[in-house]
Structure 1
Amino acid sequence: MTKERQKNTIDVESDTFRSFVLSVGTFAKRHAKNLAIAVIIIIVGTVGLALRQQQLQSKRAEASVTLTEAFETFNEAENNWLDSDDTNADQLQVAEVAFQEIFQRYKGSAAADQARYNFAKIKYYRGEYDVARTKFEEIFNEKPKSGVHLALYAKVAIGNCYEQQNQYAKAIEAYEVLIDSTEASTNMPFRDHIIELAKLSQARCQKKLGQDEKASKTYKNLIAKFEKNLDKAIEDKSAKLVENAESLLNSLPDTERPPVTNLGFADAHYKTFLTYRKKLHEYKVNKDLKGGLAPSVRKKIRKFEKESNTFFEDLKQARENKSEGRTSTALYYYDQAVGLSFAPSRSIYEKALFESNKFQYSKTEN
């Protein structure tokens, strides 16, 4: 009875599947023409999409080549801008026409954004500040696809245009809009550098308007931020070296491992680094005296000492030169020690420091 029920079940399932296949076959015969048309439409659509993508890629490549050629002409003219010969002016004219053609022809592309920005720069160089500012404003307001940094640089350029026209209040306003509109969460490497550049420009305008207290405060804030970030860079580099030293110490036998205490504070990494450096050096000397330092351990210690000694000596030179008033030399050694890649930049710091010292000097004179 069970076998018969199973057989009936199989027959029912087979009949259902057979009916489905037959119905599909009947539908296919009845609508063969429509199905063929649908397949053709899908194929044509797929081919059309592929061709469209190919055309877009070709257009981007063409725009890129044209932009590169325009850049070459522009860069040569820009580098020689201080020369007053006619050839330089002709080069700028050629680049200007090329950039204009690019942002009109390839509108909406990254190449068009770059071209429009450099077209505006040429107008700025020519003293056509209203035209330049209009183009820079378009870039800032539209937030180009080529990157947020282009829009931010455009806003700085808007302020520069106002400065050249002696409209310092409007320039300050433009810089403030830039500073306030840029969120701290913006993930881009140059964001802080552009913001600090705007602040330096803002201080310059404040000074032009006779707002000496505001300008002095802005310069001092820039100086303080640089020095704070410099201290952080020193601690970060020290923390990295401490980590390397701990790894090296942990690789030593427990019975030979020198006791070292990590202070564990974010602002004490350099002190911890000095302690580790000293202990590892003492360990190496003691083992050498006893003739028991393994070649593999010696190699690790030598590598650590090379990096740590270079860092220590560069930092020592930087601090000595700073205390003696040799700022540029001090900054050179700080750069060697930690790399001055943070914001404000070294250039902005030096300018802010120079202007701040001028304010202090003028106060003592009065």
Structure 2
Amino acid sequence: MTGGRRQPYDGVVVTTPVTVPYARYSIESAHWWIGRALAALIAESGLQRTDLDGFGLASFGIGPDTAIGLTQHFGLSPRWLDHVPMGGVSGIVSLRRAARAVQSGDADVVACVAGDTNSVDGFRQLLAHFSRFSQDAVYPYGAGGANASFALIARNYMNLFGARREDFGKLCVAQRDNALRNPHALMKKPLTLDAYMAARPIAEPIHLFDCVMPCAGAEAFLVMREETARDFGLPSVRLLSTIERHNAFADDPVQIRGGWAMDVDELYAMAGIGPNALDFVQTYDDYPVISMMQFEDLGFCAKGEGPDFVRTHEFTIHGSFPHNTSGGQLSVGQAGAAGGHLGLVESIRQLLGSAGATQVPGAQYGLASGFGMINYDRGLASGAAILARSS
């Protein structure tokens, strides 16, 4: 059975990109970081708290609370509520659901917020309880966490398609160059390819600079109809298309593609543009091999051509393929579920022309993607969105 034609997002806009500056470690709760993001949304938009009649939340660390508990904690009374426990794809999923809510009239203004904290031992505790599949499959062998899983994916990808560590390093070095322009990025030192290659191994072929650094922080944005944004005097960007897919290609012995490959044609058809029209791309980058996989699955080159694509392009802000212009998670940091919102928030800034030192000149169209929920052998969730500068 084939799915019906998806309805476009005519009239839906996104506005008010917010980043709560990250910290490597924090003694504050995830609730505190989320609260700061909500306060920033209200302050920067000029709206009242009562104007937020929709609330979409993503966080790994608010348990035993859920989004419903935080409505009381923050004094919200939404008529539309969502809790998206999907990690790196949560930003795309929150955007999709919020867009349909405002399009249908179920809400007028949806605050999409993601935030997490990072105590000294918090990341280890998160990994220990992240996935029952991981506990059952790899803990008996003394392994745990994402590094070993992505090492398997990276090594398989290298063996199949001829990728080299230098190719992954080129992406990491470019992202660090971008991050040095971003005041919110935690990584403040330049990175050379020599330093990347010499970094200590973590789980071969994964080395230090292939891994995201856990941290605390929050990201947020508002979703509403175009006329609502106009009434509030808010500059906004248009949502052209989105896709979302879970547990794609489950029969692949080792993951070499994500759900983007199943729906990429729909992504561009709904947007009415092709890959060549995009002025920047923000891929979800917990490890550089996943960015390379997305270059293929999102239609910039064929499967297996990712290494050559990387070798023939430059990925800095002023390069031939501006990529992860904020620095991405690899150089900004991964603030838990907020990592899934980082690329979207940066995309909104780019298309509003408010990205400051990371601005891609004249950006009109951009793509942001999400990926996540790694079990022991693959990421289960993927999504992407195309946004456009308002005319």
| TM-score, scaled relative to structure 2 | 0.22
| TM-score, scaled relative to structure 1 | 0.23
Q: Which has the higher helix share?
A: 1
Q: Which has the higher strand share?
A: 2
- Which protein shows a greater Rg? 1
